Chain A
């Protein structure tokens, strides 16, 4: 009954086929089956935001999403953010410019969350940025630089 199921996932504009157990999360499918290791596994329980990806343009947690659930949806990971010519996404550039990370482990999730946060328009003040970025923990404590990077990228986008 349980065995494996065949899935066709739309990831970063490409169709990817894989055979996985039904319990496999989108996070494990990306990292363990599709070699897309940019999306990070932190707590694996929905508490840290390191696994943030976009599904149909909305930021979600890949660790609490079954791969099977998002068949037919458009998935974007950190690998799909930059343009095809290798240029960085403006939010990636802002993170570099503001030194918005230390160890870097939470950074892909922070950036995916920040891109969505800016798109949602939740960047009207530093307090609003902090509130709407609160689902992404940074244990190095680079928060003040992260807020600065998001603020600048939001201003540049408006």
Chain B
């Protein structure tokens, strides 16, 4: 790990000014930044520690929304009774992520900024070519071992998967990322790789995430997060789904449904075509199974990750049927 300077920020303005300098990086929970520094991927000149800033770790829930400070720890949000009640998918996505220790460290803002687990991205010594690390250098994953790589949202430049859980639930429920005064819809905050896989977020140097807000809804109240993976705990998703459901008064017709996928795409993936195919319909298993397949239109696999094309619609189906009381 390259040596660096340490700066403890005492105000958000001081943090923004320091973060605006090229070579400086913001340090929150450290679970991504220090890991990547040890891999030789992150090489900050100065780390700007924002974890001692006051007033950025609040969690407030009312009838209209949840407001979560960027420095709230994953565990605090996962264990918050009002979040569990009004946004079960959000609480579950956090509880099923990482380990208890990491959830005590990692912050909500940092969680959104976690980097891909693409093993080629993480190993610069053996695989110098990576368009995410060095634009134009090529993609070592293409033609490599791709079991954990994305099948949706990929480009010729990059097939690295987005690894997080929380953001999948946030995308399903139209959360807003607050960068001080500026606000960005979470679906727009995460960018497709296209020809610029080095640019992952709608985020300018010198900005810091200050909060995430999630609008309350009936669908968010009746929601779940299902995560399928190679081992039962402490593992990234092979495929995951955040699903929220609101039924009409008849108890069977879909009034509102929110579906987002994790573990299969280059960003948290909202499944709008599946939602559209289910809204206004009477929920029944065969319809849900068929509608779920729509999410994979346009999917491109690279051999070893083909299984995700079959797996992800099944995870959606399971989550929708569970919310509909049909499974």
Residue numbers of A with Cβ under 8 A of B are 1-2, 5, 21-23, 25, 44-46, 49, 52, 58-61, 63-66, 68-69, 72, 113, 116-117, 120, 122, 130-136
What residue of chain B has the Cβ atom nearest to residue A62's Cβ?
Answer: B101
A-binding segment of B26-34, B208-216, B256-264: B26-34
Complex contacts, B39 vs chain A, CB 8 Å? 45
Complexed CA–CA distance, A134 and B52 (Å): 29
Contact B8 A61 (CB under 8 A): no
Contact B100 A113 (CB under 8 A): yes
Residue numbers of B with Cβ under 8 A of A are 1-6, 8, 27, 30-31, 34-35, 37-39, 47, 49, 51-52, 75, 98-102, 104-105, 232-234
Q: A58-B104, A68-B49 are in contact. Are A134 and B3 (CB under 8 A)?
A: no
Contact A135 B51 (CB under 8 A): no
The residue that A113 contacts in the complex, of B4, B75, B101, with Cβ under 8 A, is B101
Q: How far is the CB of A33 from chain B (nearest CB, A)?
A: 16
Q: A66-B27, A68-B8, A131-B233 are in contact. Are A23 and B3 (CB under 8 A)?
A: yes
Contact B27 A22 (CB under 8 A): no
Contact A122 B100 (CB under 8 A): yes
The residue that B4 contacts in the complex, of A2, A58, A131, with Cβ under 8 A, is A2
Given contacts A23-B3, A60-B101, 15 further A-B contacts (CB under 8 A): A1-B5, A2-B5, A22-B47, A60-B105, A61-B101, A61-B105, A63-B34, A64-B34, A65-B30, A65-B105, A66-B49, A113-B101, A135-B98, A135-B99, A136-B99
Complex contacts, B37 vs chain A, CB 8 Å? 23
The binding surface of chain A is classed by DSSP as mixed
Contact B3 A22 (CB under 8 A): yes
Central interface residue in A1, A61, A64, by most chain B CB within 10 Å: A64
Q: How far is the CB of B191 from chain A (nearest CB, A)?
A: 26
Complexed CA–CA distance, A2 and B44 (Å): 12
Complexed CA–CA distance, A59 and B105 (Å): 9
The residue that A61 contacts in the complex, of B1, B102, B233, with Cβ under 8 A, is B102
> Considering the complex of A and B, which 3 residue pairs feature the smallest CB-CB distances, nearest first?
A135-B99, A134-B233, A22-B6
Contact B102 A135 (CB under 8 A): yes
The residue that A134 contacts in the complex, of B5, B38, B49, B234, with Cβ under 8 A, is B234
Complexed CA–CA distance, A133 and B234 (Å): 10
Q: List 5 A-B contacts (CB under 8 A).
A: A2-B5, A22-B5, A59-B101, A69-B30, A135-B102
Complexed CA–CA distance, A130 and B99 (Å): 11
Complexed CA–CA distance, A44 and B49 (Å): 21
Complexed CA–CA distance, A66 and B52 (Å): 13
Complex contacts, A45 vs chain B, CB 8 Å? 35, 38-39
Contact B47 A52 (CB under 8 A): no
Q: How far is the CB of A72 from chain B (nearest CB, A)?
A: 8
Q: How far is the CB of B33 from chain A (nearest CB, A)?
A: 9
Complexed CA–CA distance, A72 and B10 (Å): 14
The residue that A135 contacts in the complex, of B1, B30, B35, B101, with Cβ under 8 A, is B101
Complex contacts, B2 vs chain A, CB 8 Å? 23
Contact A68 B6 (CB under 8 A): yes
Complexed CA–CA distance, A59 and B135 (Å): 39
